Amino acid sequence: VLTEDVQAYVKSELARPRGEGGGPGFNLPPLQPVDFAKFGPVTTQPLSRIKKLSGGFLHRNWVSIPHITQQDEADITELEAFRKSQADEAKKSGTKITMLGFLVKAVVVALKQFPEFNASLSADGESLVLKGYFHIGVAVDTPNGLVVPVIRDADRKGLLDIAKELGEVSTRMRSGKIAPVDLQGGCFSISSLGGIGGTFFTPIINAPEVAILGVGKAVMKPVWNGKEFAPRLMLPLSLSYDHRVVDGALGARFISHLASVLTDIRRLVL
Ligand code: CAO
């Protein structure tokens, strides 16, 4: 290896495009265009505006945030019994008392206990901006793609008000009436697929938030209570967090606390 080789290498490295934040780019081979029609019949559908927009943001967040996903199960047997017992009462006031309402309230309790989760990195990455408000984003599946409207001041709203607002906002999102303000200012997001199915998954953090909770479908499982296996309704939780802000120990504490609040909902009022 001659001096000129080293100089040429350094020169070519300096000329190479850099990734975000000054680190090296991925330098991956480009995906070659494929003529799928060569292999069978195909049709082409343009991506919706929402899909095109959210695709860029999801990709950016996935590659620029070091994600960890921590999973746990919450025993929601009592919560579900209580929810069912209140269903008729809620119906009288024209509301459905939803699981998502409990999740929003439980997340607020956990955010109060662990303020690092209710925070964002400053633009220069040098400090953490801790928020004194509790605005919770909820992923809503619409015919045109995924949107995350924000329930503002969830700490100051009751469970039924949150459930009602969620119902109204998701209907509005699905009919395409989305104002930018609906999607701004979130502190933490919840993506619930529990009404559809599946257990654990890897939710992508909704930057500049630092964590997101993925919720799967609750199922009855035999759980050992020290003497015997008892049937308990178990809710799968998947918490993705930004490892630049949250360490593994804190992540485990957050999800354990959240699960304990869902297990004993009296903790919601502590
Ligand atoms: N486990 C088991 N059952 C559940 C459940 C869970 N975690 N969550 C809800 N359910 C059940 C409810 O009990 C309800 O059944 P009943 O009508 O018998 O009471 C049913 O599923 C529907 O629940 P819901 O009306 O409360 O709606 P929801 O809370 O499940 O969902 C919303 C609301 C807006 C989150 C949902 O419509 C949606 O869009 N989900 C998709 C979000 C998404 O796409 N996330 C992915 C983001 S990453 O691509």
pLDDT digits (tens, 9 = 90+) for 4-52: 888 888 887 777 655 445 566 778 899 999 999 999 999 999 999 999 9
The response to whether residue 170 sits with its C-beta less than 6 Å from ligand 1 reads yes
Q: Give the global pTM.
A: 0.89
Catalytic residues: 243
Which amino acid residue places its CA nearest to atom 25 of ligand 1? 98
Tell me, using a 6 A CB cutoff, whether residue 103 lines ligand 1.
no
Q: Is it true that the peptide bond before 208 is cis, omega within 30 degrees of 0?
A: yes
Question: Checking DSSP bridges between strand 150-151 and strand 188-192, what pairing results, if any?
Answer: unpaired
State which ligand 1 atom lies nearest to the alpha carbon of 166: 34
Going from the C-alpha of 215 to that of each of 14, 57, 165, the distances in angstroms are 45, 21, 19
Q: Could you tell me the distance, in angstroms and rounded to a whole number, from the CA of residue 193 to the centre of ligand 1?
A: 6
Task: Compute the Cα dihedral for 184, 186, 192, 198 and give only its sign.
Answer: positive
Tell me: the pLDDT tens digits for 160-181?
Answer: 999 999 999 999 999 989 899 9
pLDDT tens for 197-213 read 999 999 999 999 999 99
Cα 228 to middle of ligand 1, angstroms: 31
Please give the Cα distance from 72 to 214 (Å, whole number): 11
The Cα 256–Cα 110 span in angstroms is 9
